[in-house]
Structure 1
Amino acid sequence: MTDDCAVKVYKALGEITRLQIVKTLVKRRELACQEMAAQLRITAASTLTHHLKPLLECGVIAVRKEGTFRYYHVQRHVLERYAPYLLHE
């Protein structure tokens, strides 16, 4: 992993909604979009998508598709390297 990767991770985690998404996924292991939106009180799907995209691009989270549903989970190895405190709160 390069310095460029570290910058992307910290930039993605530097926004409060994205940080809340990651903290929620650490606690819940995996969530579908609708569950995540409800838990974080995000009303527009486009807003959630806007926040998920940078987290996916830098590898902090990953997605599993099952039918028409998408389930998101954290990439623990990425958090261990760049933000281990999030795994131990």
Structure 2
Amino acid sequence: MNDDNGVKIYKALGEPTRLQIVKLLAQKPELACLEMVNQLKVPANSTLTHHLKPLLDCELLTVRREGTFRYYSLQREVLAQYAPALL
């Protein structure tokens, strides 16, 4: 990890919906898009995807594909380094 990644992480967590995503994933090992859409009350999958991309780019999340489903999980060690209070 470098300082640029830290900046990306804090910038991503500064957006309320992204912060909610991270908090949800801190409580569960992984979630599918549909589960997140239902819990976050976002209007569409495209809106969720828009918020997931920066979290993936800064390596806070990983994605596992299973058929047509995508399951997201939190990189706990990365979050512990930059924002341990969220765990």
Instruction: Write the distance in 2 (CA, Å) between the matches of 1:65 and 1:8.
Output: 24
The CA deviation at 1:43 is 2.1
Amino acid in structure 1 at the alignment position of 2:85:
Y
Q: State how many pairs are aligned.
A: 87
Instruction: Write the distance in 2 (CA, Å) between the matches of 1:31 and 1:76.
Output: 14
Partner of 2:59, secondary structure, is coil
Instruction: Write the distance in 1 (CA, Å) between the matches of 2:48 and 2:60.
Output: 15
Amino acid in structure 1 at the alignment position of 2:64:
R
Report what 1:54 is aligned to.
54
The CA deviation at 1:6 is 0.4
Alignment of 1:71 onto 2:71:
yes
Instruction: Write the distance in 2 (CA, Å) between the matches of 1:43 and 1:67.
Output: 24
Cα RMSD of the aligned pairs, angstroms, is 0.6
Report what 1:5 is aligned to.
5
% identical aligned pairs? 67
Instruction: Write the distance in 2 (CA, Å) between the matches of 1:67 and 1:3.
Output: 36
The CA deviation at 1:42 is 1.0
Give per-residue Cα distances to partners, 1:20-57, cap 9 Å, x unaligned. Answer: 00000111221000011001111211100000000000
Unaligned runs of 5+ in 1: none
Tell me the TM-score normalised to structure 2 length: 0.97
Report what 1:14 is aligned to.
14
Tell me the TM-score normalised to structure 1 length: 0.95
Unaligned runs of 5+ in 2: none
